[in-house]
Amino acid sequence: MSVLVTGAAGFIGSHLSEHLLAKGEEVVGLDSFDPFYDRSIKLRNVASARDNTKYSLIESDIRDAEALDSLPDGVDSVVHLAALAGVRPSIAEPVRYASVNVIGTCEVLEWARQRGISRVVFASSSSVYGNYPEVPFREDATVDRPISPYAATKVAGELTCHTFHHLHDLSVIALRLFTVYGPRQRPDLAIHKFARLLLGRRPIPVFGDGTTARDYTYVDDIIQGISGALDLLRCSEPLFEIVNLGESQPVVLREMISVLGEEIGVKPNLEALPMQPGDVQRTYADVSKARRLLGYDPQTPFREGVHRFIRWLEADVRADSR
């Protein structure tokens, strides 16, 4: 039996695929290689996994029902990571985000139902909380006031997952991921973007007064949480759960930039800019449910995670310059 990982060539998907392969699992990877960022980056992400005979990678869109039907038999679980990501781009393209993130999720769930696959891990987002006033964010918080199209699509994805659970006994764990970072992080995300600006001795754009905060979570800890969700699904009766995966240690924007500068050895030059529409003031995960259900135990302090990321980035930049 094997695990289908959608979005397999992306940041989290490539790390998860390697983790599952290391455990002896067979992995079927699915990715559309959407041009949101350069295809060559994703190809590098999956280079190691593709050397493993237990891994196959299929290029297709999750909205293509015929392509889903052509996937190999033997899949017993799905980790659905594929999505159009990013708050600000979703404001510019709300219809496209709804198509991929909502219709695409429905296609994946319907394919799983038709194949008799009863276990799905769905990647949701901390964005669903918007500017919810009570912190840390708990899974039972009201999330009916999203402030970006991206967040709205993730709320819709969670609701669609629950509908399939209710109607078809599909077991689903929706994981609300909190600002994942680490090697292979998407180039548009703040830590990666700012680090490259610092390496190039260029100014850092700071939107707002620098006091916004994010619950940055190292990718290895996220992978441990996803793996725990798969393990739970495989040994339980039909269930539906929403679970936060975060570090539970929010970092203020100015502190994040300062740590980056110290790790790179460059004093940041800050460029003050207005707050951007759709951005939330802070994210802060209550992970007590994840600890209880999944055995989740994040182990990577922020500075250590940044140190690892910078070492990876410097090697990546050297490879690009050859």
Question: pLDDT digit string (tens) for 47-80?
Answer: 999 999 999 999 999 999 999 999 999 999 999 9
**What residue ranges define each of the domains in the chain, with the CATH number in brackets?**
2-179+218-246+285-299 (3.40.50.720)
Is residue 167 within 8 Å of residue 240, measured between CB atoms?
Answer: no
Q: What are phi and psi of 287, to 5 degrees?
A: -110, 20
pLDDT for the residue 32 = 97
Residues 132, 150, 181, 284: which is the catalytic one? Answer: 150
First to last CA, the chain: 41
**Three-state DSSP class for 92?**
helix
pTM of the model: 0.97
Q: Encoding tokens for residue 27?
A: 């992995």
- Rounded to an integer, what is the distance from CA 215 to the centroid of its chain? 13
**Which H helix or E strand runs over 291?**
helix 288-294
Among the listed residues 294, 287, 284, 148, the one whose alpha carbon sits nearest the alpha carbon of residue 231: 294
Beta carbons of 225 and 244 less than 8 angstroms apart: no
Q: What's the confidence (pLDDT) of residue 174?
A: 98
* pLDDT < 70 regions, the chain: 321-322
Q: Is 150 a catalytic residue?
A: yes
DSSP string of 223-238? HHHHHHHHHHHHTSSS
Residues 215 and 60: their CA atoms lie apart, in Å, by 32
What pLDDT, in 10s, does the model give residues 154-209? 999 999 999 999 999 999 999 999 999 999 999 999 999 999 999 999 999 999 88
- Which SS3 state, helix, strand or coil, does residue 42 take? helix
Contacts of 104 (CB under 8 A, 6+ apart): 61, 62, 63, 82, 83
115 Cβ contact partners less than 8 Å away, ≥ 6 residues apart: 75
